[in-house]
Structures are given as C-alpha cells and as structure tokens.
Chains A and B, each alone.
Chain A
C-alpha cells in the first residue's frame, strides 16, 4: 500500500510557555522548540506498521519552509521511506483550504492508496484532512483509532463520544485523520536522524506541482487570523489564597455547602 502522511512542524506546547508577542500578531517564538505535531507522529507510526504488514511505502509530506525539513527527517528516521517538502513563498498565509489545495496537488503527483493526517495540529482546527478528502473526492474518516487493512478497503474505528468506537468500512483510496493512542510511536533519537541526514528530500513549489499559485496563499485565504490575545480570564475561579491551612479551611466550607463531603 502506498501511503502519504501529511505532517506539520509545530511549537511543542508541553515544552514551551506560549506567550503573545508585544504586537499581538504572533506568539513569542524566540525561545520556542518545535517538533512534529503529536497526532501526525501517531499517523506516521500507523503508516509504518501498515506497510510492515502488507508492504508498500510511506511518504511524509509537509507544507512549510526550510526548517520544516527537520520534521520530515525525524519521521523518516522513524521509518518513512520518502519525504516531500512543499515550499513556495506563494504558499505563505494559506488558510486550511489553501493547505488542502496544495496537498491535493502533491497527492495528484503520486499514486497513493491511503492518505493520513493527524486529527488536529497546533491551531486545533482538525480541518485539512476532511478538506483534502473532499477536494479529491475520496471518502474520509476522522479521529481514527483503529485500522485493519483489507482488500481494496479498510476497516477503521473512529473515537466518538463516551469512549465508544464507531466502526466503518472505507474504500481505498481514502483520507483518514488519526487520533492519538492508536499505537505507541517508536522513539527516534539523534542517531536515527543522523542516519537519514543525507537522504535527499525533494522540494516542490507551486510551479513543480503544476498548480495555480493564486488559488492559495494569503491573498486567496478567506479565513484570516487577525491577532493573538491572552484568553480573557473572565469571571474565572475565586482563587483561594493564604496559608495551606487557611486555604483548606475555606475549601472545606465550600465543599460542605455544595454537598462535596459525604
């Protein structure tokens, strides 16, 4: 099975303190460390496991700048066979649909049976996979936490409310967005990355992809971010202050009043 996994380089929220810059137009990026989007990492692991089972190859693709190459290498160190960097000044400022349009051009240049994305990334939109599927006219399933390859189709489980799992049969080619917990991604160390350091990763721009640069990028984006701001604390919680004893005393009063102690 030929599998394409779409990945993204994101600031790692668990290793960073996200702060807004003084202009309010971006987060403070000076001290950030980046990694591959966690959901994407699960998707790549799943792709590798499928290929281990049924054969084929895994290609990882990202839309980004030169620095995005590092996440491609990391995923290749995991075991992805090929990397593909889609980069062009014209791509900058694309909205979700723009990114899906760029990826569509890349999908059409290949011959993929299965396309995977992470369920969501740093922006928390969970949109590119579904858009790409619709643009390609491929069936789509989101939040996938189980894949069983079959003949020309897959059995997939979707994580739905209540901890339940929705089982579907989906025809290939298709697009799946992958939920965390579907597998246990393998560890990639410095050694793994060095091993693939010299592997050539093709860079494709709008021209190479044969696409209309005007259809993507900031100008074509119909959904735009104006600014960042610190979430309004609103009414928020009444913060209990004082010594631990005082805090506990106040808390117990509250708990008694609200029926929190039996």
Chain B
C-alpha cells in the first residue's frame, strides 16, 4: 500500500537529498557524543574512594521499585510531586515510542517488537494521553517555576546563580518533544482522513487528536512538510536532550536509578573512615576524612550528579530553617559544580584545592545537627550525614576545631565526659533518689539489666532528673538493674558525628569492655543518642532498649500500673516531639506515643511536623558547646510549632530535647503557657504501683 505521506526514511529534501541520511547521522552523532560525555563524567567516580554498595541486592531492588519506579517519596510535596510523577511516568511510557521513532527514521515501517497487535493498540492509545499529560504537567511546572517561584528554589547570592533558566529550558525541551511527536503523528492521521482511508484511531482530547483536527483541512504538501519537520525536530531534540542531561541538574534522569539502587540501607550509623580498612588499621592511614574532592567516595560523586536541586532537603533542614550557613542541597550542588569545572569535558583535569575554604566553609559543616531530615526527604536517595561527618573528620585531622569545642573534646578524652567532671562523681545523681536503689555494677555487684546513663544525664543538673525518672520506672517495673558508675564513659555518639573517630573508638572500646565485664543480659537507656550508637555501632554487647519500650512492655504486662490524668492535667494538651535519634534514625515512632497514651484520659495532639518529619531541637552532643550563627533557635521554632498545634505540654524522650525545649520556651516568652517534660518524668508522675 502506498503510504499517505512519505516517511522520513524515504523523503528527499529538495527532491534529491535523502533525509534518511539525517536519520542515521543524528543518532550516531548523538549517541557518540553522549558516550563521550558519560565517559568523562565517570572519571571522578572511578577516581573516588571506595564505597561498599554491592550487598543485599534484593533490598536494593525493592528500593528501586518503591522509591525510583514507585516515586514513593514524591507526594510528600503534593503539587511538585504529582507533576513530577506525571512527567516521570510519561517519560517511561514515551521512551518506547521515542526509540521506535528513531528507527522509523531509517526504516519507515518499523514497529517496536511486541507493539504490532492489541498490545500496541493499547500502548498507542495511552502514549498519546501520556504525551498530553506530560505536556500539560510541563506547562504547569513552568508556570510554577518561572512565575510563582516557590521559596525553596531561591538561590542565596553566595551560592551562585539559580537554576530557574535551566529548569525552564528543560521544560521547554520536554514540551517540544511532546508537541513534535504528536504533530508527527497528527499529520499522518490527517492525511489518512483526507484520502478517506481508514484513519488510525487517535485518543480523543490528546495533543495528537487536537493537531489532527487543526490540520484536517491543510494541504497535503503542508502535512508532508510538517510531518518531516516535526520528525526531525523530535529527533534532534531527543538527542540534544540526551547529551544535555549530563550537563546539569537533569543528570538525575540518568543517574537516579543507580543512585536509588546504591542508596544507604542502614540508618543510625556513620560509614567507616575508609571502606576496607579495619578499626585496628586506622592508625596506618595517612589522612582521615574528606579534605579534597577526590577523598569523597564514588557514591558521594554519584549523589552530586543526581541532585535535581528540588530543594526538599533544605526545606526540611532545621539548620537552614533557622538561617545557619548550611543548606544541604548546596552541599551537593557546589560539589557538582566543582566536579564539572575540575573534571571538564575536554582538556586536563584541574588540580584540587582543599574543599574547606574553597567551596565549603567551616561553619557550614559545623552547622549540621545530623538530624537526618534531609536524607529522609530526598526522593532519590542522596545522603548527607556521611559526607558531613567525613568533612568534619578531615577538619579534625587538620586540627581545625573551633576553640570552644576543644575543651569538651579534651575533657572527653581525659575524663570521659564533656564537662571535665571527675569520673568518681558520675553516679552522684543517684544520691538524691528516694525509694529506689540504683546498684553500681562492679566485680561484686551484678544485675540483669544495665541502665546506660551517658554523660549528659549523669552530670547536667536538669538532665539528671531524667536519669532519676528512668531509675524509678525501672524500679517500679521490677527490673533488676544497675549502672556502671565511674566505669561508664560517654557513649561517643556525638563524638563520632563530630568527626573525632579515634576518640570515639577509645570511648566505645572502653564501654564495650565495661559492659561485658558487668555481665548484664540487657541494656536500657533513656538517651536516644546513647541508644543509637549502642544499638547500631557497638558490637558484641547485649540488646539495647529505649526506656519507652520498657514502659510499653511494662504497661502491657501489668507490671507497670499507671493512673489516669489528674484534674489539673485534664486542662492540658500534650504533644510528642520525636527525637531525631529515636525516630528518623531508629524508626521508633509508636512506642513513646503508646507510652503517653497509656495514661488514661490524656489529651494528645500531633504537631504538623511529626514522626519522620520531626524538627530537630538543635541537637545534642557537642553542639551544646558550640552554635553557629543563626537567626532563631531551632528549639524556638519547634516550640512555636507545638503552640500552633494547640499543645501546652511538649513531651520528649531525650534529655537533649528536654533542655533545648525548656530553654526555647523561655526564649520564646511562653513560660506559663507551655512546658516541656521528659516522657520518663511524665510516666513517673503517674505510676500507681
């Protein structure tokens, strides 16, 4: 049968130049260029430090199915998320059609294998809708990006120029692809209709359907011209787009699949100083941490390539919210710009300067509380905590530590606590405890359960209340427990995240030894920071529980009896603040809530940001001794959130959160209207044994 329009495979430009030449040339040049670009882009990845990401393939495939293919995290930002999902799924659908078109330019009758029959009919029906949906999503996205301009895309001047133009340009490219593909199709169908042939069915209200109706009365020559032009516009745009992707933030179109596959599987841990180097061999390493770009691991570089600059991490980042000099997305973007400029597409690679002082500042790296909100949010599995810690390791290795932090570090080294208090006073908090005996475990005294108190609860006057409340709960629940007393040293959770790995190792080794010697079968702690590192980073120790788990079990078994709220408490509205190291890092969201709800008649509400979107109190550990510049305290922001939720009592399950919230209530001027209480203290007030 004579085709109604000459296909690009057979068309002759000006009557003598066969366009099939272009059909062959464009893909060859496009693919060749693309291969070259990718090879150059792979260079920094190949040169980077090792990273072990090849284990547990099943879990990784599930991540890909859920987070990449399923776009699981996208609807957390509803409008942007849905638009992205339309474009993403549209792209997936249309990729088949686009590939088919490329070959059609060479062989006019080509049909993608499998799409010849009914399946093809269904596919062609839906792909037109897909293209139309993508087109409209692109238009809305462009309006949003170019005119509405949501705040989270804002670029502070110090971080370079913004990406709005790039974003709009790419949206235009996508739009062009959609229009040209539809027009190509529409011209063909319009010609079929004109000739009275059995016209290919076009799904109603699609772009192709619209174009068909517009051009129904166009001359056959016009249709032929448009048919050929739209084909090559599509073909050129397609390969241009392919080569344009690795130039900027749209690299994620290619890399996100891999990035999600290789994303971190464990939470609550920090990667080793160097993969493949055991703790014992650390002394042999010349250098610690990331000082230059090539000190990053290959997954870090992949992260940088993959960042789409969507701004979700920074939008969730508490440091960024209070205007500390840290915005996680720029950790990635600045490093990507660095990679692109120092590993250019042509010519020699440029020698590397230390990153701190070049693209990052010290305060930027110290600003992070390691709360993990950024990683929780990233739709394509980009990590920040490991990089921040590695950059800190680099600074610590160079001796580059703020003066105010040197004292607590030296105290931790000498006394095992950041205050420089004497070891023998570590158990002094027990002296004020009534009706509850706290054993101090040693050669003669043993217990089944160890209560690991950690430094802050041992020495800080306010936090000691948490230690006493915890002890009372353990006593009331009839648990045979004791503490290590002067044999306990700081758990080191913060020390590790501060980047002082060797000090962490010595604290950890000491504690593991002391725990083993004590002969306990279980460990309980009320400090989520201690909980985190004991559970995720200590080895060869008994299982660790947080006190909220003990409370829930105690209530369930009836060993812990709680009375209901008092008349005064009935007036109060409680809200639970998720500590980062209990929630995001260890997934413990329900136990503390269940423990609160075990108090009969308690009125508990949720803050807007709860569970994995909890807002860090400004963090524990060494940040008590150092705070970068900020406009407002994180705690104050959080307290205001509680106020908005209508709460009058903030319940926390972490001593750091408690003191930060109490401070913040004072700073916010909400004394008398708002109070903070530790979960343990709340429970102790209701024990009815």
Direct contact of A and B (CB under 8 A): yes
Chain A interfacial positions (CB closer than 8 Å to B): 12, 14-17, 31, 33, 35, 78, 184-192, 194-195
Interface string of B390-419 (1 = CB under 8 A from A): 000000111111010111011101110000
When distances are taken between beta carbons in the complex, the residues of chain A under 8 Å from B108 are none
Tell me which of B399, B406, B503 contacts A190 (CB under 8 A).
B503
When distances are taken between beta carbons in the complex, the residues of chain A under 8 Å from B283 are 191, 194-195
Q: Considering the chains assembled together, what is the distance between the CA atoms of A185 and B409 in angstroms? A: 14
Flag whether B38 is at the interface (Cβ < 8 A).
no
Closest-CB distance, B496 to chain A (whole angstroms): 13
The 10 closest A-B pairs by CB, nearest first: A186-B399, A187-B401, A15-B420, A33-B414, A190-B502, A191-B502, A187-B399, A187-B406, A184-B403, A194-B283
Is the beta-carbon distance between A15 and B414 smaller than 8 angstroms? Answer: yes
When distances are taken between beta carbons in the complex, the residues of chain B under 8 Å from A17 are 422
Q: Considering the chains assembled together, what is the distance between the CA atoms of A238 and B500 in angstroms? A: 46
Is the beta-carbon distance between A31 and B422 smaller than 8 angstroms? Answer: yes
Q: Considering the chains assembled together, what is the distance between the CA atoms of A212 and B397 in angstroms? A: 44
Closest-CB distance, A86 to chain B (whole angstroms): 25
17 residue pairs bridging A and B, Cβ less than 8 Å apart = A14-B420, A15-B414, A15-B420, A16-B422, A17-B422, A35-B414, A78-B399, A184-B403, A185-B403, A186-B400, A187-B406, A187-B409, A188-B399, A189-B409, A189-B413, A194-B283, A195-B283
Is the beta-carbon distance between B399 and A192 smaller than 8 angstroms? Answer: yes
When distances are taken between beta carbons in the complex, the residues of chain B under 8 Å from A195 are 283
When distances are taken between beta carbons in the complex, the residues of chain A under 8 Å from B443 are none
Q: Considering the chains assembled together, what is the distance between the CA atoms of A190 and B410 in angstroms? A: 10
Is the beta-carbon distance between B397 and A191 smaller than 8 angstroms? Answer: yes
Task: Given A189-B500, A189-B503, decide whether A15 and B411 contact each other with a Cβ distance below 8 A.
Answer: yes
When distances are taken between beta carbons in the complex, the residues of chain B under 8 Å from A186 are 398-401
Residue of A nearest to B398 (CB): A186
Residue of A nearest to B410 (CB): A35
Closest-CB distance, B249 to chain A (whole angstroms): 37
Is the beta-carbon distance between B396 and A14 smaller than 8 angstroms? Answer: no
Q: Considering the chains assembled together, what is the distance between the CA atoms of A15 and B421 in angstroms? A: 6
Residue of B nearest to A33 (CB): B414
Q: Considering the chains assembled together, what is the distance between the CA atoms of A88 and B461 in angstroms? A: 46
Q: Considering the chains assembled together, what is the distance between the CA atoms of A190 and B509 in angstroms? A: 14
Q: Considering the chains assembled together, what is the distance between the CA atoms of A184 and B503 in angstroms? A: 21
Closest-CB distance, A189 to chain B (whole angstroms): 6
When distances are taken between beta carbons in the complex, the residues of chain B under 8 Å from A35 are 410, 414
**Range class of the B interface residue count:** 20 to 34
Flag whether B673 is at the interface (Cβ < 8 A).
no
When distances are taken between beta carbons in the complex, the residues of chain A under 8 Å from B288 are 191
A-B pairs under 8 A by CB, number: 57
Main SS class of interface, B: helix
Flag whether B506 is at the interface (Cβ < 8 A).
yes
Flag whether B424 is at the interface (Cβ < 8 A).
yes
Chain B interfacial positions (CB closer than 8 Å to A): 282-283, 288, 396-401, 403, 405-407, 409-411, 413-415, 420, 422-424, 500-503, 506
Q: Considering the chains assembled together, what is the distance between the CA atoms of A185 and B401 in angstroms? A: 9
Q: Considering the chains assembled together, what is the distance between the CA atoms of A14 and B410 in angstroms? A: 11
New A-B contacts (5) at CB < 8 Å, excluding given A78-B399, A190-B503: A14-B420, A15-B410, A15-B414, A33-B414, A191-B501
Tell me which of A33, A188, A189, A191 contacts B415 (CB under 8 A).
A33
Q: Considering the chains assembled together, what is the distance between the CA atoms of A78 and B282 in angstroms? A: 19
Q: Considering the chains assembled together, what is the distance between the CA atoms of A16 and B407 in angstroms? A: 13
Is the beta-carbon distance between B407 and A14 smaller than 8 angstroms? Answer: yes
Residue of A nearest to B420 (CB): A15
Closest-CB distance, B408 to chain A (whole angstroms): 10
When distances are taken between beta carbons in the complex, the residues of chain B under 8 Å from A78 are 399
Closest-CB distance, B547 to chain A (whole angstroms): 30
When distances are taken between beta carbons in the complex, the residues of chain A under 8 Å from B413 are 189-190
Q: Considering the chains assembled together, what is the distance between the CA atoms of A14 and B407 in angstroms? A: 9
Residue of B nearest to A35 (CB): B410
Closest-CB distance, A30 to chain B (whole angstroms): 10
Q: Considering the chains assembled together, what is the distance between the CA atoms of A195 and B501 in angstroms? A: 15
Q: Considering the chains assembled together, what is the distance between the CA atoms of A186 and B420 in angstroms? A: 20
Q: Considering the chains assembled together, what is the distance between the CA atoms of A78 and B409 in angstroms? A: 15
Closest-CB distance, B132 to chain A (whole angstroms): 60
Q: Considering the chains assembled together, what is the distance between the CA atoms of A98 and B414 in angstroms? A: 31
Q: Considering the chains assembled together, what is the distance between the CA atoms of A17 and B420 in angstroms? A: 10
Closest-CB distance, B67 to chain A (whole angstroms): 37
Residue of A nearest to B285 (CB): A191
When distances are taken between beta carbons in the complex, the residues of chain A under 8 Å from B403 are 184-185
When distances are taken between beta carbons in the complex, the residues of chain A under 8 Å from B500 are 189
When distances are taken between beta carbons in the complex, the residues of chain A under 8 Å from B282 are 191
Q: Considering the chains assembled together, what is the distance between the CA atoms of A17 and B425 in angstroms? A: 12
Closest-CB distance, B305 to chain A (whole angstroms): 32
Closest-CB distance, B403 to chain A (whole angstroms): 5
Q: Considering the chains assembled together, what is the distance between the CA atoms of A12 and B397 in angstroms? A: 24
Q: Considering the chains assembled together, what is the distance between the CA atoms of A216 and B400 in angstroms? A: 40
When distances are taken between beta carbons in the complex, the residues of chain A under 8 Å from B506 are 190
Is the beta-carbon distance between A31 and B406 smaller than 8 angstroms? Answer: no
When distances are taken between beta carbons in the complex, the residues of chain A under 8 Å from B501 are 191
When distances are taken between beta carbons in the complex, the residues of chain B under 8 Å from A190 are 413, 502-503, 506
Q: Considering the chains assembled together, what is the distance between the CA atoms of A33 and B422 in angstroms? A: 9
When distances are taken between beta carbons in the complex, the residues of chain B under 8 Å from A31 are 422-424
Closest-CB distance, B312 to chain A (whole angstroms): 34
Residue of A nearest to B402 (CB): A184
Closest-CB distance, B455 to chain A (whole angstroms): 14
Q: Considering the chains assembled together, what is the distance between the CA atoms of A15 and B413 in angstroms? A: 11
Q: Considering the chains assembled together, what is the distance between the CA atoms of A15 and B403 in angstroms? A: 16
When distances are taken between beta carbons in the complex, the residues of chain A under 8 Å from B424 are 31
Residue of A nearest to B399 (CB): A186
Is the beta-carbon distance between A187 and B420 smaller than 8 angstroms? Answer: no
Closest-CB distance, B527 to chain A (whole angstroms): 23
When distances are taken between beta carbons in the complex, the residues of chain A under 8 Å from B414 are 12, 15, 33, 35
Closest-CB distance, B417 to chain A (whole angstroms): 10
Closest-CB distance, B505 to chain A (whole angstroms): 8
When distances are taken between beta carbons in the complex, the residues of chain A under 8 Å from B409 are 187, 189
**Residue from B407, B410, B500, B502 having most chain A Cβ neighbours under 10 A:** B410
Q: Considering the chains assembled together, what is the distance between the CA atoms of A185 and B411 in angstroms? A: 16
Q: Considering the chains assembled together, what is the distance between the CA atoms of A17 and B501 in angstroms? A: 29
When distances are taken between beta carbons in the complex, the residues of chain A under 8 Å from B422 are 16-17, 31
When distances are taken between beta carbons in the complex, the residues of chain B under 8 Å from A187 are 396, 399-401, 405-406, 409
Is the beta-carbon distance between A189 and B398 smaller than 8 angstroms? Answer: no
When distances are taken between beta carbons in the complex, the residues of chain B under 8 Å from A188 are 399
Closest-CB distance, B404 to chain A (whole angstroms): 10
When distances are taken between beta carbons in the complex, the residues of chain A under 8 Å from B423 are 31
Q: Considering the chains assembled together, what is the distance between the CA atoms of A14 and B411 in angstroms? A: 9
When distances are taken between beta carbons in the complex, the residues of chain A under 8 Å from B397 are 189, 191
When distances are taken between beta carbons in the complex, the residues of chain B under 8 Å from A189 are 396-397, 409, 413, 500, 502-503
Q: Considering the chains assembled together, what is the distance between the CA atoms of A78 and B400 in angstroms? A: 11
Closest-CB distance, B423 to chain A (whole angstroms): 8
When distances are taken between beta carbons in the complex, the residues of chain A under 8 Å from B400 are 186-187
Closest-CB distance, A166 to chain B (whole angstroms): 25
When distances are taken between beta carbons in the complex, the residues of chain A under 8 Å from B401 are 186-187
Residue of A nearest to B506 (CB): A190
**Residue from A31, A78, A189 having most chain B Cβ neighbours under 10 A:** A189
Closest-CB distance, A79 to chain B (whole angstroms): 8
